[in-house]
């Protein structure tokens, strides 16, 4: 895909199984990534450790959806090394305005302490990045995100790259061809991330998720 990158071209890239990155926040260049090995979360199989279970049931937090999308992306990019440059940031915000990207946020006392965001198309959710300002805040976000995806019609939760940390939470590795096959099936499905009848309680999260020691 040539020419200036737009939000629609970006979304088309996701449909084709690729995603954009930059070498750093001060690097204006953007390139497409097409990993040979792809990480995904099997929806509904997120692993919850005993300590995270206790954290979920403590309920000293609030879950919000896309109430601070730009702030979540900013927090994800506020690392020593980041692939989110100003142009990529701008395009994600444009996709959010079109309801093609959402964030799931963890708040406490009106303070944003963790979150995750991603791009949506059909029944596919392309997880982009997450952050945590307090222990387990990003894990809380992922647990609630997995439940929402399972119960609002999604069939694919893309994690892009597999890491030991994501694997410990239930992510698995697919080869490129396997991923593309799953992607095409998911794109043919209808899902509604903001399904108005959807609801969840902390008890729902710990009941339906895989538990680890």
> 189 with 123: CB under 8 angstroms?
yes
List the chain domain ranges: 7-212
Where does the pLDDT of residue 118 fall: very low under 50, low under 70, confident under 90, or very high at 90 and above? very high
Any idea which residue has 């043919």 for tokens?
A: 188
Where does the pLDDT of residue 213 fall: very low under 50, low under 70, confident under 90, or very high at 90 and above? very low
**Count of CA atoms in the C-beta half-sphere (13 A) of 117:** 24
Per-residue pLDDT tens over the stretch 4-26: 899 999 999 999 999 999 998 88
pLDDT attached to residue 208: 61
> 202 with 62: CB under 8 angstroms?
no
User: What does pLDDT average to over the chain?
Assistant: 94
Give strand ranges (E) for 41-94: 47-49, 62-65
Where does the pLDDT of residue 161 fall: very low under 50, low under 70, confident under 90, or very high at 90 and above? very high
The average pLDDT across 185-193 equals: 97
pLDDT attached to residue 144: 98
Task: Assign domain 7-212 to its CATH architecture.
Answer: 3-Layer(aba) Sandwich (3.40)
Where does the pLDDT of residue 164 fall: very low under 50, low under 70, confident under 90, or very high at 90 and above? very high
Rg (CA), the chain: 16
Where does the pLDDT of residue 79 fall: very low under 50, low under 70, confident under 90, or very high at 90 and above? confident
Q: Taking the CA atoms of 187, 91, 9 and 30 in sequence, report the sign of the dihedral they define.
A: negative
> 97 with 128: CB under 8 angstroms?
no
């Amino acid at each position: 895909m040539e020419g200036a990158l737009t939000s629609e071209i970006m979304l088309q890239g996701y449909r084709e199984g690729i995603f954009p990155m930059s070498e750093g926040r001060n690097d204006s260049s953007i390139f497409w990534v097409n990993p040979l090995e792809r990480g995904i979360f099997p929806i509904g199989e997120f692993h919850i450790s005993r300590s995270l279970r206790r954290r979920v049931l403590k309920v000293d937090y609030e879950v919000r959806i896309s109430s601070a999308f730009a702030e979540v992306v900013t927090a994800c990019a506020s690392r020593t090394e980041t692939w989110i440059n100003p142009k990529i940031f701008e395009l994600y915000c444009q996709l959010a305005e079109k309801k093609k990207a959402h964030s799931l946020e963890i708040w406490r006392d009106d303070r944003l302490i963790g979150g995750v965001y991603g791009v949506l198309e059909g029944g596919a959710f392309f997880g982009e990045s997450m952050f945590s300002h307090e222990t387990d805040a990003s894990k809380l976000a992922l647990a609630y995100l997995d439940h929402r995806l399972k119960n609002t019609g999604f069939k694919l939760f893309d994690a892009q790259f597999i890491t030991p940390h994501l694997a410990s939470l239930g992510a698995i590795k697919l080869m490129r061809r396997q991923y593309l096959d799953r992607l095409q099936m998911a794109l043919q499905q209808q899902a509604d991330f903001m399904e108005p009848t959807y609801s969840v309680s902390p008890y729902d999260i710990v009941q339906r998720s895989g538990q680890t020691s």
